[in-house]
Structure 1
Amino acid sequence: MGLMSESVSVRCPSCRREHVYAAPSYPCVCGAPVAPPLDPRGVATVVTHRVWDEDWIAVRCAACGRLDEWPYPELGCPCGTLLRIPVAGAEPTAEPAPRTTKVRADVEGRPAFQPVTIRTARDAVTAAALYLRWLGYRDIRRADQRPPSGIGLAARGILAQVDPTVRPASLRDVECLWLTAMTETTECVYFSLAGYTDDARARADALGIPLFVLDLTGTPQPVNDLADQLDAAGS
């Protein structure tokens, strides 16, 4: 994940165990590492249920000044408690990021994609969101319509489905994504942790849907030619 931020001491409010935590850094579109600034005087809070807006935090790149949203720093305590780590000087998310020139894969200087290791379903969604951002999509958010399986992500010009289950995505899954994208007049892409059935792959090719498999390193691997093209050219 690149450079790490300064370490802070974190006490679990459930078992009182002390931890030393450093937030992982993520690559900005300019290539510089970005990490949420941790608050050493703050108190960790327990995550009891997921709220999409609370899972992301706006962080400004010190190198280019770009403001983007990144996963909120969290720590899993061995006692089973999930802790949200306090962040210093969080910026509002409403401010738009400065305009930058998109760098495509065929242009020298495009930074390499930096994955996030997949251990949980949330990690799979984070990996897909980071990859979409790397492709050039901005303002990634939870999709308005919930798919029949997995998690839906949306950005300007794209609708993505992330399936973190252990079963291969089916023909119905692919067709439902395509129908939803058609109603919203947008392109779509599918990310699956367990791959796809043969008929799902054939249907995706016919409908023009790029298919990716998320490996455990968090790197999306193209499954069909459409995914290869998207990976090479970006959004």
Structure 2
Amino acid sequence: MSESVPVRCPACRRERFYTAPSYPCACGATVAPCLDPRTAPRTVAHRAWEEEWVTLSCPACGRHGRWPRPELGCPCGTVLWIPVSDVVDASASEQERIPAPNTPPLPPPAPPAQVPTPAHAEPLVPAQNPPRPSPPRRPFHPVAIRTARDAVTATVRYLRWLGYRDIRRADQRPTSGIGLSARGLLAQVDPSARPASLRDVECLWLTAMTDSTDCVYFSLAGYAPEARARADSLTIPLFFLDLTGTPRPVNEAADALDA
């Protein structure tokens, strides 16, 4: 369970409560960093890519994974790194690559006991007013993509089809492509001819985490294998934009969003 600690900004002396984010481990458990309230937060003056991540251990399976370092953006413009007390050595993550010894499989669970139905039991009565099925969603009408502007137009039209409103340019410029923002969502449209990289996906995740929003990626050239694997672990929907302007889901998170 994520915890909250009071954080005082050293620049404006304003105090706010910070809640640690949680992340999904490959085993299905939730990993949340343990915050250190006795250590003062660190002001971020210059960013280095390797310092953006911390290595945490899953409490369920012990697996080590790299996750974004907890940070808080103060309204005065100062960015703070929140100290974490359960960071492990990054080299320990190499232990995950060592296969575990073979263990005998557990026996299958016993089938549930059959409970006899009394002879005088009354039959189940169907509900008088069954729920009505939801009306089918209208078909999506794409727009052909010939330029980068067309890719943005196709993405905006698709997001509106999903139900998002007030779509606008994002405040922060992404590492590549164009950023779009809607209420509760940050989208990145990459019209370049190269597949989206691991760094592109991770930067989108970090920006969305700072703004406490979900994120989604649209690419004309697809994704590098490591970028797709990282998006799957972070549950980031990935879409491939074909030249007809139709976004095609690439991973399970995109399938769920499209549905």
Instruction: Give the TM-score taking structure 1 as reference length.
Output: 0.53
Alignment of 1:177-188 (within 5 A): 177-188=204-215
Matched, 1:122 2:149: yes
Q: What amino acid is aligned across from residue 215 of structure 2 in structure 1?
A: C
TM-fit CA distance, 1:173: 0.2
Q: What amino acid is aligned across from residue 197 of structure 2 in structure 1?
A: S
**Whole-Å separation in 1 of the counterparts to 2:134 and 2:162:** 13
Which stretches of structure 1, 4 residues or more, deviate above 3 A after TM superposition?
Answer: none
TM-fit CA distance, 1:108: 2.4
**1:102-132 CA-partner distances (Å, limit 9, x unpaired):** xxxx832311110000000000001011101
Alignment of 1:40-189 (within 5 A): 107-189=134-216
Structure 2: 5+ residue stretches without partners: 1-132
SS in 2 for 1:139: coil
Q: What amino acid is aligned across from residue 139 of structure 2 in structure 1?
A: A
Which residue among 230, 246, 252 is the counterpart of 1:219? 246
SS in 1 for 2:205: helix
Q: Number of matched residues?
A: 127
**1:12-38 CA-partner distances (Å, limit 9, x unpaired):** xxxxxxxxxxxxxxxxxxxxxxxxxxx
Which residue among 201, 212, 224 is the counterpart of 1:197? 224
**Whole-Å separation in 2 of the counterparts to 1:110 and 1:209:** 24
**Whole-Å separation in 2 of the counterparts to 1:198 and 1:108:** 38
Structure 1: 5+ residue stretches without partners: 1-105
Q: What amino acid is aligned across from residue 158 of structure 1 in structure 2?
A: L
TM-fit CA distance, 1:162: 0.2
**Whole-Å separation in 2 of the counterparts to 1:108 and 1:128:** 24
Instruction: Give the fraction of aligned pairs with identical amino acids, expressed as a percent.
Output: 77
Q: Larger relative CO (CA 8 A, sep 6+): 1 or 2?
A: 1
TM-fit CA distance, 1:224: 0.1
Q: What amino acid is aligned across from residue 227 of structure 1 in structure 2?
A: A
